[in-house]
Chains A and B, each alone.
Chain A
Amino acid sequence: MRRAAHLLSCLVLSAALGGCGWVNSKGDLDHAKRATTMAGADSVLIRYNRVRARAETSVDPAPLADIEAGPLLAIDRGAFFLRQRLPVRTKSFRFTRTQLVVAGRFDSYPLWFAMLTEAAGTDQKVAAVFTRPTSTSPWRLIEAPRLARSTQIGPVAQREDGSAVILAADGGEWSDGRTVQRGFPQQLVDDYAATLADPDGPTAGRFVQDSFISQMRTLAEAQPVTGVTFEQEWSALPVHHVVRLRDEGVLVFATLVRTDRYTLEGKRSLDFAGLEAAAYFSSPVTGSATLNYRHQVLMLVPAEGKPLVIGQYGGLISASGS
């Protein structure tokens, strides 16, 4: 009798509460979640700015490892190394206003999100990618190409739940289930690196001759030629962060590896005075020197037309020679 009364009260309550819309059955559970929210992204930036300021005040790159990772950490460590060794004054870096947060939906770690923010005291904005490899690691900045403040990026494609359409971790399909052309986008970025290495090569026609290509070509052409053999190599690291735009265009975050090699002939010497490489060489080089650079680029692949780089950030990360 008591059990029946209990059951009845449960039934009556369920009917009452369900009928009021107070209790909703979840149905099929979706175990995925959006990488972050606008508020979550802002708190990541606040933490980044705080730790970055500490590193810059002490001109000590050690704290950067808490907020940066991968090639970006190598680039910024290289920049700090120059500041320690050379009488250079560089502006401190700080994120300011967030313009856009691009967060995909994930069903497992690692997570990542991209954001477009302004940088204090510059006429640039930063396309920043933060990653979190595990639930116990902090968000770290891994890619940060700079764009001119006037550069406009079209609206990002979104799924029904509002999350951004991004390339899945295995690269086989977009997060909305659409398949990706085989080899995309790695082949594209490899071809771009090949174009930088050989401006007249077979891949050159695939790309707009953008300002990054022009800048790198000018730099290569300005190298000494008398008594020095100069070689420059380019390659691309694996691409992980790709976002689709609503107009079917695509944004590709890529890191390019550049190696400048100088081989001196006879008894000649090479002096890097006035250049950032001087931080690595206390005296002129007489045999050979190798300078290693990393360049992070944001490539726009429009729905129609040739791809082009619309933002970049890079620098010297190491050098060796004698």
Chain B
Amino acid sequence: MRRAGGWLLVLLGVLLVLLGSTTAVVFGPDNEVASGPHPLASDGTAIATAPEAIKYAGPTVRVTVASSSEQPLFVGLGHDLDVRDYLAGSAYARLDTLNLPWDTTTSRVGGTDAPSRPPAELDWWLVSDTGPGKVSLTFALPEDSVDVVVTNADLRPRLRVQTTVTVLRPGAFAGGLAVALAGLGLAVAGRVLVGRLRDRSGRPGIASVGARRRAPSGATSAPPVPPPGSPR
């Protein structure tokens, strides 16, 4: 029973080493995992994620969008209800699914109109950025149904950008190393425990078996019989 516990410790330790070291290696000393730059394009007004594309909440991510020209860009995170109404009637490229490191499915949404006001003039963006050439957003993925929208700041159609998505996790590197070290400690402790149990159960066990085996011959266990004529 104790031996099984020892092996369990070893297994747990190995798992923690695996988890911790993978986390440390993936995030690196800057505590970031980046994917990109990846090209995205739209002949319409915008590139926008579908709400289903952002299916997780919690992590902090940074979305960086760059264009080859100095044309001012806009990137914003908005509630799906607002974005849906804003882009209604406009042609744009929609990212239907997005799996990191980078696996996307995109569809073209048809339309003839452009939104009636530039995005930077609106007050409902949860977070947004506008600027020439390169823009970026950092936000914690919310529980709400949200979309990321990229447009030319003046809503001019035809958008060609490079997008980088970075997951940020402060302390991930140190934490990963700590978990790996703890796992290593557990594994060593488990192995030592298993070894000790084997040693302790090994020596007395052999002696008793030997005694039982030798007992019937009487040669060694019986008291010595004195030779005839010897004093008692």
Contact = CB atoms under 8 A, between A and B. Distances in A.
A32 B145 CA distance: 8
B122 A135 contact: yes
A106 B123 CA distance: 18
A181 interface: no
Interface string B53-80: 0111111000000000000000000011
Interface in A92-145: 106-109, 134-136
Interface string A14-51: 01110001111110011111000000000100000000
A22 B81 contact: no
A108 B19 contact: no
Contact of B82 (A21, A26, A135): A135
Contacts of B83: 135
Interface in A43-100: 43
Nearest to B142: A26
B81 A107 contact: yes
A297 B88 CA distance: 35
Given A106-B81, A135-B122, A31 B145 contact: yes
A24 B81 contact: no
Interface in B129-175: 143-145, 169
A136 B81 contact: no
29 contacts: A12-B19, A12-B22, A15-B19, A16-B23, A17-B59, A21-B58, A23-B56, A23-B57, A24-B58, A25-B56, A25-B57, A26-B143, A26-B145, A29-B52, A29-B145, A30-B145, A31-B51, A31-B80, A31-B145, A33-B79, A33-B81, A33-B82, A33-B144, A106-B81, A109-B81, A135-B83, A135-B85, A136-B86, A136-B116
B59 A135 contact: no
Contacts of B212: none
B102 to A, nearest CB: 12
A13 interface: yes
A24 B22 contact: no
Contact of B115 (A13, A21, A32, A136): A136
B34 to A, nearest CB: 14
A284 B54 CA distance: 69
B26 interface: yes
Nearest to B82: A135
B26 A29 contact: no
A26 B59 CA distance: 12
B18 interface: yes
A29 B85 CA distance: 17
Contacts of B22: 9, 12-13, 16
A134 B143 CA distance: 24
Given A9-B26, A16-B23, A135-B124, 11 more contacts: A15-B19, A22-B58, A24-B57, A25-B55, A26-B56, A29-B51, A29-B55, A30-B144, A109-B81, A135-B122, A136-B86
Contacts of B85: 108-109, 134-135
| A interface, over-half SS | loop
Interface residues of A, number: 25
Contacts of B145: 26, 29-31, 33
Contacts of A13: 22-23, 26
Given A13-B22, A136-B116, A24 B143 contact: yes
Contacts of A33: 79-82, 144-145
A135 B124 CA distance: 8
B215 to A, nearest CB: 57
Top-5 shortest CB links A-B: A135-B85, A135-B86, A136-B117, A16-B19, A12-B22
Contacts of B86: 135-136
Interface string A149-187: 000000000000000000000000000000000000000
A26 B55 contact: yes
A26 B80 contact: no
A32 B52 contact: no
B221 to A, nearest CB: 59
A33 B80 CA distance: 9
B25 to A, nearest CB: 8
Nearest to B100: A10
A43 B124 CA distance: 12
A108 B83 CA distance: 11
Contacts of B122: 135-136
Contacts of A136: 86, 115-117, 122
Contact of A23 (B25, B58, B82, B115): B58
Q: Which residue, A16, A22, A33, has most C-beta atoms of chain B within 10 A?
A: A16
Contacts of B19: 12, 15-16
Nearest to B116: A136
Q: Which residue, A16, A22, A29, A135, has most C-beta atoms of chain B within 10 A?
A: A135
A134 B54 CA distance: 24
A17 B86 CA distance: 34
A11 to B, nearest CB: 9
Interface in B1-54: 18-19, 22-23, 25-26, 51-52, 54
A31 B59 CA distance: 20
A26 B57 contact: yes
